[in-house]
Protein backbone atom coordinates (compact mmCIF):
# COMPACT_ATOMS: atom_id res chain seq x y z
CA UNK A 1 0.00 0.00 0.00
CA UNK A 2 1.13 3.51 -0.69
CA UNK A 3 1.48 6.20 1.94
CA UNK A 4 2.87 9.70 2.37
CA UNK A 5 4.28 11.34 5.46
CA UNK A 6 4.84 15.06 5.71
CA UNK A 7 7.17 16.04 8.52
CA UNK A 8 5.96 19.12 10.35
CA UNK A 9 2.33 20.15 10.33
CA UNK A 10 3.37 23.78 10.56
CA UNK A 11 6.43 25.55 9.16
CA UNK A 12 7.15 29.23 9.70
CA UNK A 13 9.74 31.20 7.75
CA UNK A 14 10.65 34.83 7.30
CA UNK A 15 10.02 36.57 4.01
CA UNK A 16 13.03 36.01 1.77
CA UNK A 17 14.16 32.88 3.62
CA UNK A 18 14.45 29.37 2.21
CA UNK A 19 11.32 27.26 2.25
CA UNK A 20 11.75 23.52 2.86
CA UNK A 21 8.71 21.28 3.23
CA UNK A 22 9.44 17.62 3.80
CA UNK A 23 7.70 14.65 2.25
CA UNK A 24 8.55 10.95 2.48
CA UNK A 25 6.65 8.27 0.64
CA UNK A 26 6.17 4.55 0.72
CA UNK A 27 5.30 2.65 -2.44
CA UNK A 28 5.75 -0.88 -3.72
CA UNK A 29 5.80 0.34 -7.32
CA UNK A 30 7.59 3.30 -8.91
CA UNK A 31 5.62 6.24 -7.57
CA UNK A 32 4.12 9.25 -9.21
CA UNK A 33 4.51 12.13 -6.77
CA UNK A 34 2.79 15.48 -6.55
CA UNK A 35 2.77 18.67 -4.53
CA UNK A 36 -0.48 20.60 -4.28
CA UNK A 37 -1.12 23.97 -2.63
CA UNK A 38 -4.36 25.03 -0.97
CA UNK A 39 -4.96 28.71 -0.29
CA UNK A 40 -7.56 29.58 2.36
CA UNK A 41 -11.10 28.62 1.35
CA UNK A 42 -9.97 27.40 -2.04
CA UNK A 43 -9.47 24.09 -3.79
CA UNK A 44 -6.14 22.41 -4.42
CA UNK A 45 -3.83 23.62 -7.15
CA UNK A 46 -1.03 21.54 -8.63
CA UNK A 47 2.45 22.94 -7.93
CA UNK A 48 4.49 20.22 -9.58
CA UNK A 49 4.66 16.51 -10.31
CA UNK A 50 7.30 13.79 -10.61
CA UNK A 51 6.75 11.11 -13.21
CA UNK A 52 10.27 9.66 -13.58
CA UNK A 53 11.44 11.92 -16.42
CA UNK A 54 13.82 13.94 -14.22
CA UNK A 55 14.61 13.80 -10.52
CA UNK A 56 14.59 17.59 -10.08
CA UNK A 57 11.19 18.96 -10.91
CA UNK A 58 10.40 22.63 -11.33
CA UNK A 59 6.91 23.89 -10.64
CA UNK A 60 4.95 27.09 -10.57
CA UNK A 61 5.67 30.12 -8.37
CA UNK A 62 9.38 29.30 -8.06
CA UNK A 63 8.93 25.98 -6.26
CA UNK A 64 10.88 22.85 -7.04
CA UNK A 65 11.19 19.37 -5.61
CA UNK A 66 13.82 16.65 -5.83
CA UNK A 67 12.99 12.97 -6.01
CA UNK A 68 15.47 10.87 -4.01
CA UNK A 69 14.75 7.19 -4.33
CA UNK A 70 17.39 6.16 -1.80
CA UNK A 71 15.75 8.36 0.82
CA UNK A 72 12.16 7.81 -0.42
CA UNK A 73 11.78 11.57 -0.27
CA UNK A 74 10.26 14.31 -2.40
CA UNK A 75 10.94 17.51 -0.49
CA UNK A 76 9.60 20.84 -1.73
CA UNK A 77 11.81 23.92 -1.75
CA UNK A 78 11.76 27.55 -2.72
CA UNK A 79 14.86 29.74 -2.40
CA UNK A 80 13.08 32.86 -1.19
CA UNK A 81 9.69 32.91 0.52
CA UNK A 82 7.09 35.48 -0.35
CA UNK A 83 4.14 36.52 1.76
CA UNK A 84 1.81 35.13 -0.90
CA UNK A 85 3.27 31.63 -0.34
CA UNK A 86 1.41 31.30 2.96
CA UNK A 87 -0.92 28.34 2.43
CA UNK A 88 -1.41 24.63 3.14
CA UNK A 89 0.83 22.30 1.13
CA UNK A 90 0.03 18.68 0.40
CA UNK A 91 2.32 15.96 -0.89
CA UNK A 92 0.54 13.12 -2.68
CA UNK A 93 1.37 9.81 -4.36
CA UNK A 94 -0.34 7.86 -7.10
CA UNK A 95 0.49 4.37 -8.26
CA UNK A 96 -0.15 4.85 -11.95
CA UNK A 97 0.13 7.35 -14.74
CA UNK A 98 -3.44 7.01 -15.95
CA UNK A 99 -5.37 8.53 -13.12
CA UNK A 100 -6.52 6.71 -10.04
CA UNK A 101 -6.69 7.92 -6.50
CA UNK A 102 -4.24 10.27 -4.89
CA UNK A 103 -2.97 9.36 -1.44
CA UNK A 104 -2.30 12.57 0.44
CA UNK A 105 0.00 13.42 3.30
CA UNK A 106 -1.31 15.23 6.34
CA UNK A 107 -0.48 18.64 4.97
CA UNK A 108 1.96 21.33 6.09
CA UNK A 109 0.80 24.83 6.85
CA UNK A 110 3.37 27.40 5.73
CA UNK A 111 3.41 30.77 7.47
CA UNK A 112 5.55 33.63 6.16
CA UNK A 113 6.54 36.39 8.55
CA UNK A 114 7.33 39.91 7.29
CA dihedral 58, 83, 73, 91 (to 10 degrees): -90
Could you tell me which stretch among 11-19, 37-45, 54-62, 68-76 binds other proteins (CB under 8 A)?
A: 37-45
Query: According to the binding rule CB under 8 A, does residue 6 interact with other proteins?
Result: no
- The C-alpha atoms of residue 114 and residue 103 are separated, in whole angstroms, by 33
Q: Is 69 left (phi over 0), alpha (psi -120 to 50) or beta?
A: alpha
Closer to other proteins by Cβ: residue 25 or 34: 34
**Closest distance to other proteins from the beta carbon of 16 (Å):** 27
**Closest distance to other proteins from the beta carbon of 7 (Å):** 15
Closer to other proteins by Cβ: residue 13 or 32: 32
Amino acid sequence: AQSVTQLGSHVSVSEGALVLLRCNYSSSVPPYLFWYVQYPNQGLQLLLKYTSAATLVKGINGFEAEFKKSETSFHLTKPSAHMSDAAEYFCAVSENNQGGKLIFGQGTELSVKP
